[in-house]
Structure 1
């Protein structure tokens, strides 16, 4: 039944007929095929060959799970987290689906379970446990698990670039684009491995071609910072940042905004810059938030707004931008836009200092 369904999907000797494809997948599911139920669930999730129905998608994913097809358990858990119309967001149920899949050696289940522990969603927030599950996902040949493990191993909490390099290398071998982009960064700067800019560029290019926003952004940065004897460098960089932003890379959006502010590789457009700073900030880019604060301070591309400036400086600071914290500290120290408050100033000077903003450290020690 499943083979017949694929014939009607791809037209291998048959006319493409998505409704008949769905019918054959449904027959396979009724005959107890977990794969058939999972495929049918995916059709209901996207509306391909059947009316779009998240409820029916979940029902079929759960049938697949009961039949022992672990990808169905994972897909059901993901759908529950996404919370589309008709599907209740139940973190405990999602966790149970991921746990079932992980226990049955489905790497994606372990990786999603790790993400729940990393974020504290339906379980206690535990970075150590998250790393354990990411590492299990990686060991089970799920590339994204390797990438997630590497990200944690590179974080301030773990500071283990050698382990991260091994994780990213395995993830890249498993064809995970984000892992290859991270591996490229380590090779570009010689972190935990031999410095090799040409190999870094090759990895960035491959990752970008596979729709990694990070890969496109890092490739763009190579062009932007290259020797300026090639006038096409800026335009190529701007184009790559645009692609990175399209792939939901927050830093890429912020960098594209700066290209519009500076007129590098494209016409100056402060209003468009604001739009991209906003998108970057919303996606978690500290630089995007800081740049948006600067736009509200100067009135670039729109009205000046001191209240908005402070709001975006706070967001930047919360996301780890030292200069954002420093500017908030100065506003509290000076008074005016914010009510003068030496205690608050001291707290923000201290945070800025912790974030390597050296000019804040002397002030922090005085408060």
Structure 2
């Protein structure tokens, strides 16, 4: 009876494998037909299958090239990553610049950022122009780099106020600009153009427990007075009123040495609280602190859980970090297929390092 049950399970497994193979074969055929009809997305999807299923970078290159010729910016970008990666044995500096440049011209924001970084040492004006284009297309790392160039006057007329505004905007959108914003807000910048009546109105509204007004006062305390203690107090009040952004900002204030308030335990506490309030970037940082054991006992399982929450809330970096947890088996069961899909998801959401990891690991046999 046990033997019969074992045979039944084995037959079920074989049946599932055959279905999977059949479905995969159907996907191949479907995308090949679409690609033959000069639909760029079909060529791109067929290239993904070449990497993920066949582990054949030559075949993937062929389909990405056709999609790129059909003006698909994502495929041009993937060619850039392929020609940059040592792992697929196609490294070619001229070709990867060519395809990143073309992808940028077609409106791929992360490619514009990457072209800017390639120009950064040799042509700061071109670098800044490409960072600006990346920023205008919504790439947050492009905005951060543009802010740094404004702040230092590299490749563009120095304008610290504009740099700080870009750091602030980026900080409110994700985590990248926050350390720059918090760390450099008070360096040699006269930032006193605030309407006093506006300040008084915000202060009055904050006294009535309006969390948004308290949050705004925290930012203004940094920008107008360069006063980390005032900012800390306003952000604390807003955080107590369940303002997720203020809780996140406290995490950065306690994370940054320039504030003279560095405290890893407090930093973790506020990042974790902001995460509980559904701030995706705070979840990423709290997860990273669990992973490193900073301000909290090291716990890779909790780290992976917070990366998942960050990813589910729409943060592409959180998806990449979760992919690495699965790829290494840190805090979760090792699952390289799932890891590669998470890298792909991060990449499709414009996350530069997600693209690099997707190309690097999906081609490995």
TM-score range, shorter chain: 0.3 to 0.5
TM-score by length of 2: 0.43
